């Protein structure tokens, strides 16, 4: 008879800030303790999977389980930290629920870095990076990533372009037309970024500025005007299929 898979698929999976190693004992409190003991009804001796964005994924075992906190003993490494495809998503902030969705999908689809880009028509004036990061962590826990996407401080479009690394292709989603995305991406493998505008799109002046960047390639995502969040997810998907790890 086949040995049942261990840990079972239903094993809770959590990101922790503490660096993990064999034999480490962690105290979990706050929302994560509530999730494990209250929601998942974890009992002493039961397994948990942990990852720390540095050393991979580990199997741990519940020790003392209380309502407000519990201890987990790390027993063995299940996986090394993954190599993440070298893709940045540079996206203009859009309304709250929608940018949260972009952060979640960027993580699930395999993006390495999310760069919020401030453009002339950006209407969101304060971006809550903690909230965006929380969405990415939750997505990473659920989708099995062992490496979190990095999230950098918002940067103005001109500053982003001014310091653009020459070796990184900049696929600029241009709703006024460009090279079909799949064709452009297949033609330029290697480190890449996708740039997507806000709800109101880029201004003509911004489009001209982007085109002066030697690494920029204007791409089309088809004849329909997509919402910014749809354009972001679609462009990332096409890149992953053409050049990523799908
Ligand atoms: N300016 C548009 C809407 C912009 S859509 C208008 O109001 O009519 C938001 C962003 O999604 C754009 O800036 C662009 O980066 C991307 N986008 C949307 N549809 C696209 C398409 N068909 N091809 C390439 N990029 C697209």
Q: Which residues contact 35 (CB under 8 A, 6 or more apart)?
A: 12, 14
- Band (pLDDT 50/70/90 cuts) for residue 231 is very high
Structure tokens at 18: 């503490």
Domain boundaries of the chain, sorted by first residue:
13-79, 87-242
Q: Which of 91, 173, 224 to mutate to test the pocket of ligand 1 (most atoms within 8 A of CB)?
A: 173
Q: Which residues contact 172 (CB under 8 A, 6 or more apart)?
A: 178, 194, 195, 210, 216, 217, 218, 219
Residue 121 has pLDDT above 90, yes or no: yes
- DSSP string covering 100-152: HHHHHHHHHHT-SEEEEEE-TT-------HHHHHHHHHHHHHHHT-SSPPEE-
Q: Whose structure tokens read 């030697």?
A: 214
User: pLDDT tens-digit profile of 7-40?
Assistant: 998 999 999 999 999 999 999 999 999 999 999 9
Give the lowest-confidence range in 5-14, 51-60, 228-237: 5-14
Å from CA of 148 to ligand 1 middle:
27
Specify the fold of 87-242.
Alpha/beta knot (3.40.1280)
- Band (pLDDT 50/70/90 cuts) for residue 125 is confident
Index of the ligand 1 atom closest to the CA of residue 225 = 19
**First-to-last C-alpha distance (Å) of the chain:** 33
Nearest to 119 by CA among 204, 215, 176: 204
Residue 67 has pLDDT above 90, yes or no: no
Q: Which residues contact 76 (CB under 8 A, 6 or more apart)?
A: 22, 58, 59
Q: pLDDT: is 55 or 67 the higher one?
A: 55
In the structure, which protein residues have their CB atom closer than 6 angstroms to any atom of ligand 1? Answer: 173-175, 196-197, 200-202, 220-222, 224-226, 228, 231
User: pLDDT tens-digit profile of 181-209?
Assistant: 999 999 999 999 999 999 999 999 999 99
Å from CA of 223 to ligand 1 middle:
10
pLDDT at 176: 95
143 vs 32: CA distance, rounded Å:
17
Residue of minimum CA distance from atom 2 in ligand 1 = 201
Residue 2 has pLDDT above 80, yes or no: no
Residue 229 burial (10 A CB sphere; 0-12, 13-18, 19+): buried
E-assigned strand segments in the chain = 13-15, 25-29, 47-51, 57-65, 69-79, 87-91, 113-118, 150-151, 155-156, 169-173, 179-180, 192-196, 216-220
Task: Please tell me whether the overall predicted TM-score, pTM, comes out greater than 0.75 for this model.
Answer: yes
Contact present, 75 and 46 (Cβ < 8 Å): no
Q: Which CATH class is domain 13-79?
A: mainly beta
Q: How many residues does the chain have?
A: 246
pLDDT at 228: 98
Å from CA of 202 to ligand 1 middle:
8
Which residues face 28 on adjacent strands?
A: 70
Q: What is the DSSP letter of 41?
A: -
């Amino acid at each position: 008879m086949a040995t049942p898979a261990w840990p079972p698929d239903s094993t809770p999976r959590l990101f922790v800030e503490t660096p993990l190693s064999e034999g480490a004992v962690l105290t979990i409190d706050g929302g994560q303790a509530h999730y494990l003991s209250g929601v998942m009804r974890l009992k002493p001796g039961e397994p948990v999977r942990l990852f720390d964005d540095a050393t991979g994924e580990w199997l741990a075992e519940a020790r003392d389980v209380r309502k407000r906190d519990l201890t987990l003993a790390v027993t063995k490494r299940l996986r090394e930290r993954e190599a993440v495809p070298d893709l940045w998503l540079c996206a203009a902030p859009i309304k709250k629920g929608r940018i949260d969705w972009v952060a979640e999908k960027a993580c699930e689809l395999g993006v390495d870095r999310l760069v919020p880009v401030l453009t002339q028509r950006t209407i969101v004036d304060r971006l809550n990076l903690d909230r965006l990061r929380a969405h990415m962590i939750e997505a990473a826990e659920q989708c099995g990533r062992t490496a979190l996407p990095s999230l950098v401080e918002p940067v103005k479009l001109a500053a982003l372009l001014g310091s653009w690394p020459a070796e990184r292709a900049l696929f600029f989603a241009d709703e006024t037309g460009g090279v079909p995305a799949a064709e452009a991406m297949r033609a330029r493998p290697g480190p890449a970024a996708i740039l997507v505008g806000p709800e109101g799109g880029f201004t003509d002046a911004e489009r001209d500025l982007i085109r002066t960047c030697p690494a920029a390639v204007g791409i089309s995502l088809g004849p329909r005007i997509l919402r910014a969040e749809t354009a972001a997810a679609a462009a990332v998907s096409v890149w992953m299929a053409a050049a990523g790890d799908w």
